């Protein structure tokens, strides 16, 4: 285990304890020697962590300490790199892909040298999708409407080839290998619907905020679709 991982683990263990816990108990729980534990506590205190206590009495972490970006485990860093690579190659949203790359670059810039090397040499790759749909709308605008909780006026072509005009309340955007799907409330159908973004031929964001909060609508949609997590399923 690297030093950064040790410090992250120690912080997580201390946060689970509201009362002082002995150094020996902390050392056993984090899998290090008592001497190493004392050094790690000193390192965290030097970084601004309010860890109170002393040998023989016990230690407690006071609320308010925010972990700096360098405090990632190797698994967490691999997940971040893999996520950035997937967004860059599979999202069909150039601006989102660039933002993911910028975010990872900011994180990498403040990592210690050992973890920075692990990001640079990461061996998790994302292959190009066999067939990407052609988007005729700006996904950046769609994401903006979701964040702002604004109604969208769209022109949509369904599976049978019929063109319709809809006013929708965009709630979420699902990314799949062969399609992007917007989860929304459709005013025409007076219910939740899923629209493939590559079948939307035109889209305009209105100045009208939809009458219910997006979080409440998402919760109702998940209950209707029996979706326990945030993983969206579309058609």
Residue 158 sits in the same domain as residue 206 = yes
In this structure, is residue 51 part of a structural domain?
yes
The parent domain of residue 165 ranges over 139-225
Residue 173 sits in the same domain as residue 212 = yes
Considering its fold, how many domains does the chain have in total?
3
* pTM for this entry: 0.66
Residue 144 sits in the same domain as residue 221 = yes
Res. 232 pLDDT band, cuts 50 70 90: very low
Residue 148 sits in the same domain as residue 186 = yes
In this structure, is residue 131 part of a structural domain?
no
In this structure, is residue 234 part of a structural domain?
no
Residue 150 sits in the same domain as residue 109 = no
Q: Is 206 helix (H, G, I), strand (E, B) or coil?
A: strand
Q: Identify the pLDDT of residue 195.
A: 97
In this structure, is residue 200 part of a structural domain?
yes
pLDDT digits (tens, 9 = 90+) for 69-79: 556 777 888 99
Structure-token match 């729980």, residue found: 29
Query: Do residues 96 and 140 touch, judged by C-beta distance below 8 A?
Result: yes
- Please determine, for residue 67, whether its predicted confidence score (pLDDT) is greater than 80: no
Residue 177 sits in the same domain as residue 104 = no
CA 82 from chain centre, in angstroms, equals: 12
pLDDT digits (tens, 9 = 90+) for 16-44: 888 899 999 999 999 999 999 999 999 88
Q: What DSSP string runs through 75-127?
A: HHHHHHHHHHHHHHHHSS-HHHHHHHHHHHHHHHHTS-HHHHHHHHT-----P
CA 206 from chain centre, in angstroms, equals: 27
Residue 88 sits in the same domain as residue 52 = no
In this structure, is residue 190 part of a structural domain?
yes
What CATH number is attached to the domain comprising 196?
2.30.30.520
């Amino acid at each position: 285990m690297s030093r950064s991982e040790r410090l992250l683990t120690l912080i997580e263990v201390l946060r689970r304890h509201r009362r002082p816990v002995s150094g020996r108990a902390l050392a056993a729980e984090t899998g290090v020697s008592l001497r190493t534990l004392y050094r790690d506590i000193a390192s965290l205190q030097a970084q601004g962590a309010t860890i109170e206590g002393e040998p023989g009495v016990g230690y407690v972490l006071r609320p308010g300490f925010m972990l700096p970006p360098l405090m990632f485990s190797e698994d967490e860093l691999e997940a971040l790199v893999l996520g950035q690579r997937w967004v860059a190659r599979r999202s069909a949203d150039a601006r989102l892909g660039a933002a993911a790359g910028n975010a990872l670059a900011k994180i990498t810039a403040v990592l210690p040298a050992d973890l920075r090397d692990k990001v640079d040499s990461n061996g998790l790759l994302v292959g190009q999708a066999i067939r990407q749909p052609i988007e005729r709308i700006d996904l950046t605008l769609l994401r903006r409407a979701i964040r702002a909780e604004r109604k969208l006026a769209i022109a949509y072509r369904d599976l049978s080839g019929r063109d319709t005009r809809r006013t929708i309340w965009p709630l979420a955007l699902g990314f799949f290998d062969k399609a992007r799907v917007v989860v929304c409330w459709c005013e025409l159908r007076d219910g939740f619907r899923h629209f493939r973004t590559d079948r939307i031929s035109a889209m305009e964001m209105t100045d009208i905020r939809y009458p219910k909060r997006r979080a409440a609508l998402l919760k109702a949609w998940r209950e209707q679709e029996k979706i326990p997590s945030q993983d969206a399923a579309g058609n």
